[in-house]
């Protein structure tokens, strides 16, 4: 069952330079759906629009970002909520209890002059009617911290007294204390060293197992997706160019860009030279015509310079926006199907 559906979403930054208005096309016709209890990973190199997509999914579109088209619908049982049509207050009601957010750079979101316990108190107090019942607040927070394997003493500390990994765990604890159905996490472990990273990812996974919620996980780090994501969507220049179950993305990437992303990962025992994509991503202000990847694509054909490929089904649950990949795979599948008969 889907819990979130995105259709043709466009969100551009409208910026002025030298007296002219320009549109930075950060989210450019994105459609995707998120299923109940899954971890959907979103990957892609820096500047491709991952954070802007998450902000738009939260309905948090403020100037210079502008909603240029498309819909974001949350499904709460029978109820469908079009988040981009909600006023700020209605949106706030949906936030934290139904949807929560771990923003990028969240190591610095904790108030430096407040003890962690006070931050929890005001956060929980703002959402639940438990201000007059201090005992209930204490037990709720303590139980949650214990469930996440965090020492209860953390509540007495100021943020600067905690390590980066601990601060990130506290931020995640804060984002999940109200047991939201959906957690949108933006690079939650990127600023941390590898060992601590693993702990934070494990924490998110444990929360998901325990609370049975859905996670949309943004990170450019494919190794993290291999660890936590059930499905992965790859973004390039504001669009989703490939989407598939995680094993499929790693075993059989179809888009040449995804092949570069996967091919550049180190593998144990493999000493062959790793090739990354040549050139740099295009400017989101003036995208090349056709497929935005064509200037970097070794296999580009004339059609790739003229038309934008649609994200279409190439194999079971596997979509790709590439003229070559979609066609080749369809051929392979039909041969395989014929052979198995």
Q: Which residues bind ligand ATP (CB under 6 A)?
A: 13, 15, 24, 26, 44, 46-52, 64, 104, 220, 284
- Least Å distance, CB 51 to ligand ATP, is 3
Residues 61, 186, 265, 252: is their CA dihedral positive or negative? negative
Nearer to ligand ATP by C-beta: 47 or 117?
47
In this complex, which beta carbon is closest to ligand ATP, that of residue 15 or of residue 126?
15
Nearer to ligand ATP, 162 or 287 (CB): 287
| Beta-carbon contacts of residue 195 (< 8 Å; ≥ 6 apart) | none
List the structure tokens of 282: 């295009």
| Cβ count near 164 (within 10 Å) | 13
Closest to ligand ATP by CB, 25 vs 318, is 25
Q: Which is nearer to ligand ATP, 106 or 119 (CB)?
A: 106
- Among ligand ATP, Mg ion, none, residue 26 binds (CB under 5-8 Å by kind): ligand ATP
The span from the CA of 259 to the CA of 277, in Å, is 9
CB neighbour class for 258 (10 Å; exposed up to 12, middle 13-18, buried from 19): buried
Q: How far is the CB of 39 from Mg ion (least distance, A)?
A: 18
State which residue, 207 or 284, has the beta carbon closest to ligand ATP: 284
Distances (CA, A) of 141 to 47, 135, 221: 37, 10, 31
Cα–Cα distances (Å) from 67 to 23, 84, 185, 308, in that order, read 11, 8, 21, 21
Q: Is 132 helix (H, G, I), strand (E, B) or coil?
A: coil
Length in residues, the chain: 341
Binding mask 39-78 for Mg ion (x = CB under 5 A): -----------xx---------------------------
Integer Rg of the chain from CA:
22
Q: How far is the CB of 138 from Mg ion (least distance, A)?
A: 36
Residue 113: CB minimum distance to ligand ATP, A? 27
Residue 319 interacts, among Mg ion, ligand ATP, none and using kind-specific CB cut-offs from 5 to 8 Å, with none
**Least distance in Å: CB of 139 to ligand ATP?**
38
Cα separation of 179 and 212, whole Å?
A: 9
219 binds Mg ion (CB under 5 A): no
Q: Identify what 284 binds: Mg ion, ligand ATP, none; CB under 5 to 8 Å per kind.
A: ligand ATP
Residues that bind Mg ion (CB under 5 A): 50-51, 104
């Amino acid at each position: 069952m889907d819990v979130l559906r995105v259709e043709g979403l466009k969100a551009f930054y409208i910026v002025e330079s030298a007296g002219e208005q320009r549109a930075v096309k950060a989210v450019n016709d994105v459609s995707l759906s998120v299923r109940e209890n899954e971890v959907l990973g979103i990957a892609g190199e820096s500047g491709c629009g991952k954070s802007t997509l998450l902000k738009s999914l939260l309905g948090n579109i403020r100037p210079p970002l502008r909603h240029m088209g498309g819909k974001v619908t949350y499904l709460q049982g029978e109820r469908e909520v079009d988040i981009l049509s909600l006023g700020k207050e209605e949106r706030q009601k949906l936030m934290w209890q139904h949807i929560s957010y771990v923003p990028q750079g969240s190591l610095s979101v904790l108030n430096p002059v407040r003890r962690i316990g006070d931050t929890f108190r005001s956060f929980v107090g703002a959402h639940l009617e438990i201000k007059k019942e201090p005992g209930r607040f204490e037990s709720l927070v303590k139980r949650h911290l214990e469930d996440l394997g965090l020492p209860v003493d953390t509540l007495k500390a100021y943020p600067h007294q905690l390590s980066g990994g601990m601060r990130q765990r506290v931020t995640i604890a804060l984002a999940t204390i109200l047991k939201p159905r959906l957690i949108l996490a933006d690079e939650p472990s990127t600023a941390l060293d590898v060992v601590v990273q693993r702990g934070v990812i494990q924490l998110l996974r444990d929360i998901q197992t325990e609370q049975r919620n859905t996670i949309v996980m943004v990170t450019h780090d494919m190794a993290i997706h291999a660890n936590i994501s059930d499905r992965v969507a790859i973004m390039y220049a504001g669009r989703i160019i490939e989407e598939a179950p995680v094993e499929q993305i790693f075993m059989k990437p179809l888009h040449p860009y995804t092949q570069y992303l996967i091919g550049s990962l180190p593998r144990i025992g493999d000493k062959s030279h790793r090739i990354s994509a040549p050139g740099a991503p295009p400017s989101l202000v003036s995208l090349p015509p056709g497929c935005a990847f064509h200037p970097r694509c070794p296999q580009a054909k004339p059609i790739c310079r003229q038309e934008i490929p649609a994200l279409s089904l190439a194999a079971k649950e596997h979509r790709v926006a590439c003229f070559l990949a979609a066609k080749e795979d369809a051929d392979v599948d039909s041969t395989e199907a014929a052979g198995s008969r």
